[in-house]
């Protein structure tokens, strides 16, 4: 089973997003709180992107040859609110790539 796990850590002046895939951890530091994070799966091309949905900046990208159905799952570590929006129009930076 293929998995990608994302963790979020707030610090006083920045935020850390930690992506864990096949035992490899990739850290992404940002200086602003991201109100919306976009996730784009291009199944046929084997691309999975996480991006700042307001600015269109890619946070993390991975290539993987998908051979089975993709089943996204979301969870919060602590009580909070998670809002999922689907059917969004593709960001300009994706249309141009």
- Which residues constitute the domain of residue 49? 16-94
Asked, for residue 53, whether it belongs to a domain, the answer is yes
Asked, for residue 46, whether it belongs to a domain, the answer is yes
Question: Which pLDDT value is given to residue 94?
Answer: 67
Question: Which pLDDT value is given to residue 60?
Answer: 92
Instruction: Render the chain in DSSP notation, one character per residue.
Output: ---EEEEEEE-SS-EEEEEEETTEEEEEEESS--S-EEEEEETTTTEEEEEETTTTEEEEEEE----S--------SSS-------SPPPPHHHHT-
Asked, for residue 2, whether it belongs to a domain, the answer is no
Tens-digit pLDDT profile for the chain (97 aa)?
677 788 888 888 899 999 988 888 899 999 988 888 889 899 999 999 999 888 888 999 999 888 888 888 888 888 888 888 877 677 777 676 6
Asked, for residue 73, whether it belongs to a domain, the answer is yes
Asked, for residue 39, whether it belongs to a domain, the answer is yes
Question: Which pLDDT value is given to residue 1?
Answer: 62
Asked, for residue 11, whether it belongs to a domain, the answer is no
Asked, for residue 10, whether it belongs to a domain, the answer is no
Domain count, the chain: 1
Question: Which pLDDT value is given to residue 47?
Answer: 92
């Amino acid at each position: 089973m293929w998995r990608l796990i994302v963790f979020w850590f707030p610090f006083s002046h920045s935020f850390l997003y930690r992506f864990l895939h096949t035992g490899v951890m990739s850290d992404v530091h940002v200086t602003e709180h991201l109100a919306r994070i976009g996730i784009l799966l291009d199944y046929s091309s084997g691309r999975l992107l996480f991006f700042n949905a307001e600015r269109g900046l890619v946070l993390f990208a991975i290539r993987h040859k998908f051979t089975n159905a993709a089943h996204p799952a979301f969870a919060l570590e602590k009580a909070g609110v998670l809002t999922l929006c689907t059917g969004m129009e593709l960001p300009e930076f994706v249309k141009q790539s």
